[in-house]
Amino acid sequence: MFEKLSGLLAAFACICVLSTSPVVAQDSKAVDLVQDLGSRSYSKIIKAVNGLAATGVNGVEGVLNAYLSRNLFVRKSDKRVVFAKKTDSQYRLFAPLTRQSLGTAKRSDLTKLRLNNRLRRTLRAALGGLTLRSSDPAQRIKAANVVFKAPKASQVSILKKVLAAEKDENVRPVIERSLAAAVLAHGATSKARAEAVIVLGTYSDPDVSARLKSLLIKDSAGRFAEKEPLVREAAQKALDEIAERVAIWDFIGKLFQGVSLGSVLLLAAIGLAITFGVMGVINMAHGEMVMIGAYTTFVIQEIIRTSAPAFFDVSVIIAIPMAFLVAGAFGVAIERGIIRYLYGRPLETLLATWGLSLILQQMVRTIFGPTNREVGNPSWMTGAIELDGGALLTYNRIWIIVFSVVVLVLLALVLKKTAFGLQMRAVTQNRRMASAMGIRTGWVDAMTFGLGSGVAGVAGVALSQIDNVSPNLGQAYIVDSFMVVVFGGVGNLLGTLFGALTLGVANKFLEAWSGAVLAKIFILVAVILFIQKRPSGIFALKGRAVDS
C-alpha cells in the first residue's frame, strides 16, 4: 500500500515538473501569441508574428505560412484563431500549431484574419528567419536574403546562433551579411552599428551600397538619415572601399570581354590573314566559310540529339574537325573554280567573291530556312564565374579564348614546322623564285585557300556557342576581320593576334563610354588614320617581293 502511494506521489511530482517546464511554458506562450493574431490592432499582430518567430516552437512556420496564404480565421462562436480548409460547402477546422481537428464550420461562422502590405513584409521576414535553420543550403541562402531586405530586432539573436552553427562556406557570407544588416538597423550602441557597417563594407553588391548610401541621405533641413557620426563615418569609408573594389572588378570584367571579343575576331580573321597574305586575294566570301562551320556544328548536334543524346557533351569536339574539312573543301573548290582565273585582278576578285557570298547565303536559306538555328552549349561550357563587382566570366567565352590560342599555336606549328608551311612561306615572299625552285604554286594556292577556309569553319564552331546561327552570321564579322588583318600586318600571325586583341579590348572599353555604334565608328576611324601613317600594319612582312 505504501509503495503504491509513493508511486502515485512520484507520478504527480513528474506531472507538476513537466507542467512548469520551459518547453510547456513556451508552447503555452506560442498558443497565446497565435490567439493574438486575431487582434484588431495591426501593431499587436506584428508583435505576435515576431514573438512566434522567436519562440522556436514546432509548427510556427506552418502558422505563418497559413496566415500569408489567407487560411487563418477567427471562429465567431468563441473568438478562437483556427486553420480552416474548405471541403465542399463547409470548412474543416484545425488548431494552427498542432493541426488537431476542431470540427467543421460554415463560412459565415468564420472571420478571415486581417492582412496588409506591412504585415505581409513582416510575415515574409519572420519566415525567412525560420528557414535559416533549413537543411537545404539553397533555402538558407534564400532566407538570409529575405532577412537582409527587412531585418527585425528579434532576428539578431537567431542570426547569431545560425551563423555560429553554419558550416557551409557558400552560406556563411550570406548569413553574415544579413546579420550585419540586422545589427545596423537594431544595434544597441553606435559602436556595434559601426562595426556592422564595416562588415557590410566587405561586400560589393548593389544592395549593400544602397543600404549604406541611405545612411548618408539628408532631408530638406540638412539632417542626415543616420544621426550617429561614428556610423556615418564608417558608412562613408565603406562606400569608398566598395567603389574602389567595384572599379577594379569592372576593369577586369571589361578586359575579359575585350579579350573574349578579340579571340572571336582572331578566329574569324586568322584564316583571312593566310589567304590575303599569301595570295593577295580579297575574299568577301570568307564570312560564309565561318557560317558553313556554324551550320556544320548545327547538323552534327541534330544528328547526336536524335541518335545518340548521351554524347551531346562531345558534339562540339566532333564538330571541330568536321567543320574544318567541310569549309576547307568549299575553299579548295572556290579557289580551283573561280579564284585561280582572277589572280592579279583584285577588283574582279572582290566582286566575284562578293557575289559568291550572296549565293552561299541563299543556298543556306534554301536548305535550312531563313530563321536562326539553335546550337546548344555542352554542360562543360555552361555557367559562369561571378566576380564581386557583378561581372560574369562565362565558361563558353573562357573556352573560346583557350580554343583560339590553341588554333593559333597549331597554325603557327604548321607554318613553321612542316614542308607545306615552308612552301607557303616561300610563295609568300617570292612567288616567281618559289616556282623556279620547283614548288607547285598552284597547288600551294589551293591548299592555302583551303587551310584559310578550314580555319574559318573552325571559327564558326566557336561562334555558334555565343551567337545566333543564321545565314547572315559571317557578314557580322567580315569587316572586322579585314580591319584586324590590315591593322596587324597582312599575312602575319603575330600581327593578327595583336590586332585582334587590341581592337577587341579597345572596342569594349569604348562601348562603356560611348555606346556600341559610336565605339565601332571610333575604331574604324582610328584604323583608317593608322593605315594612312603605316600602310603595312603593325608587323609588316619582310621579303624580296615585299621590299621590291
pLDDT single digits (tens) 202-227: 988 888 888 899 888 888 778 888 88
pLDDT single digits (tens) 238-295: 999 988 888 888 888 889 988 988 888 888 888 888 777 667 778 888 889 999 999 9
Q: Cell digits for 139?
A: 533555402
pLDDT recorded at residue 276: 76
pLDDT recorded at residue 546: 45
For residue 50, CA distances in Å to 62, 130, 187, 279, 318 come to: 14, 11, 17, 79, 59
Name the residue type at position 545: A
pLDDT recorded at residue 22: 41
| pTM: predicted TM-score of the whole model, two decimal places | 0.67
Quick check: 142 pLDDT over 70? yes
Contact 445, 335 (CB under 8 A): yes
pLDDT range class, residue 344, cuts 50, 70, 90: confident
Per-chain mean pLDDT for the chain: 83
Domain coordinates in residue numbering, the chain: 22-124, 136-227, 254-471
Q: What is the average pLDDT across 135-158?
A: 83
Name the residue type at position 233: E
Distance CA 26, CA 277 (A): 84
Contact 224, 215 (CB under 8 A): yes
Q: Cell digits for 246?
A: 567595384
Quick check: 298 pLDDT over 90? yes
Quick check: 18 pLDDT over 70? no
Three state DSSP letters for 130-163: HHHHCCCHHHHHHHHHHHHHCCCCCHHHHHHHHH
Closest CA to 506 of 482, 487, 489, 533: 487
pLDDT range class, residue 53, cuts 50, 70, 90: confident
Which runs of consecutive H residues, i.e. helices, occur in 37-113? 42-55, 60-68
pLDDT range class, residue 356, cuts 50, 70, 90: very high
pLDDT recorded at residue 362: 92
